[in-house]
Amino acid sequence: MAALKKQRLINLLPSEEFAVTTTGRILSWALSTFRYIVIVTELVVILAFISRFWLDAQNADLAEEIEQKQSLIASSKDFEREFIEVQKRLIIYKTLTSDSVSFSKIFSNISVNIPEDVLLSKISLSGESLTVDGLSPSERSIVQFAVNLEKNAGYPKTTLKSVETNRNDPSLLEFSLDVSLAKEEI
């Protein structure tokens, strides 16, 4: 029988003597601690990678929901605009047909007393005052209209606010009258 050769393992870091020294303890602590730090870091990276898919799916769902709501709002935009316009018209109609103001009486009083060569361009009512804007070829017709409103129509507080030459046609005069209405007419 051949003699058994005994194999020796060569360890450059003696385990018993080196583990007792300060350098050995620091090296042993560093190797075991850094191993756990690497494992924890890898777990965090894996969780971040997996959560990215969940967040992407959630982002896609939210983007689709926003797009649906935008299309719904866009489709109701015309209806909303028409609805607001109808509401404005109803408010104007309500103010015009209210019992406190008799527009037909006021307009008939004014229209009966307009001279033949006077053309009215605008009549506006605000509170107890009525503003009448118009065009006339002569100052005499404007004065006649104001006098007719004072005497015949029953508006004693009729004042001539302004008289100017028309920009488009210099042969015509633009005028504005303020008429104070009686409280029973308002």
pLDDT at position 126 is 78
Full domain range(s) for residue 156: 101-180
- Is residue 110 situated within a structural domain? yes
Query: For 27-41, 97-111, 125-139, 156-170, which range has the lowest pLDDT when averaged over its residues?
Result: 97-111
Q: What is the 3-state secondary structure (H, E, C) of the chain?
A: CCCCCCCCCCCCCCHHHHHHCHHHHHHHHHHHHHHHHHHHHHHHHHHHHHHHHHHHHHHHHHHHHHHHHHHHHHHCHHHHHHHHHHHHHHHHHHHHCCCCCCHHHHHHHHHHCCCCCCEEEEEEEECCEEEEEEEECCHHHHHHHHHHHHHCCCCCCEEEEEEEECCCCCCCEEEEEEEECCCCCC
Q: Which of 64-68, 130-134, 167-171 has the highest mean pLDDT?
A: 64-68
Q: Is residue 141 situated within a structural domain?
A: yes
Q: 128 lies in a domain? A: yes
Q: What percent of the chain has pLDDT over 90?
A: 32
Lowest mean pLDDT of 11-25, 34-48, 67-81, 142-156, name the range. Answer: 11-25
* Residue 46 counted as domain residue: no
Residue 48 has pLDDT above 80, yes or no: yes
Supply the pLDDT for residue 5. 63
Number of domains the chain contains: 1
Would 63 be classed as within a structural domain? no
Q: Domain with 129 in it: what CATH number?
A: 3.30.1360.100
Residue 165 falls within a domain, yes or no?
Answer: yes
